[in-house]
Structure 1
């Protein structure tokens, strides 16, 4: 995700399913204007769906909401009750780690692609590995050039 892309959260409303421990998907949606955490959005949606569900889902029992952000954030919430500040801080830290992991994964893919392009443009595999030495070992760099 580049700096200029808007953060979008996709969510799934989950209901009970005797065939699956994870439940069944009742509805999905997108929240493009949410500025809080994925956990807060999941709690807000869960509360809304339990207290004021859309008419077509009025009889459905909602057990959880899963939220995934385009930045890598994720939350699964089965209780709409607001959490105390220490739990909120924990959720914020978890989401920050998920986002950092997502950014690192994307950067790794971009680095591998740039390494392959540099090699295709004439840079030797050893030279590419030397240039990447600050961020990966030589064996890892040479392996990345094969992919």
Structure 2
């Protein structure tokens, strides 16, 4: 588990987020440019390292009834990726927010080979250029595949 200070450094690397201190040493981070009423991206980051990220518009995450995913055991890279996806989902014009269609990530691998991961038609598809390489039912499966193949998210 990343300590509080490291999680805070990752979160603060997003200039579009505004820090809001709350009770008991906890910290929230707001995305004021959100296209939705929801503005909190990071909720109750606690000095013990526990906290939550809003994933209510993102498929494939284990979230509670408020759309929050616990980040206690997230690595720095996974946390960065999750926050980026959360901000992207809140930046949507609302046309695809219900399904998340159109979400796209670029992954870099061995020999600087780039793959693109796109959520479309309720599947996570991996493309090499215009060619479909693989399809997965969840983001977690796609991410695991990419990591096993030696790729990391850009």
Asked whether the two chains share a fold, i.e. TM above 0.5, the reply is no
Q: Larger relative CO (CA 8 A, sep 6+): 1 or 2? A: 1
Higher helix share: 1
Q: Which has the larger radius of gyration?
A: 1
Q: TM-score, normalised on structure 2?
A: 0.24
User: Which structure carries more strand by proportion?
Assistant: 2
**TM-score, normalised to structure 1's length?**
0.25
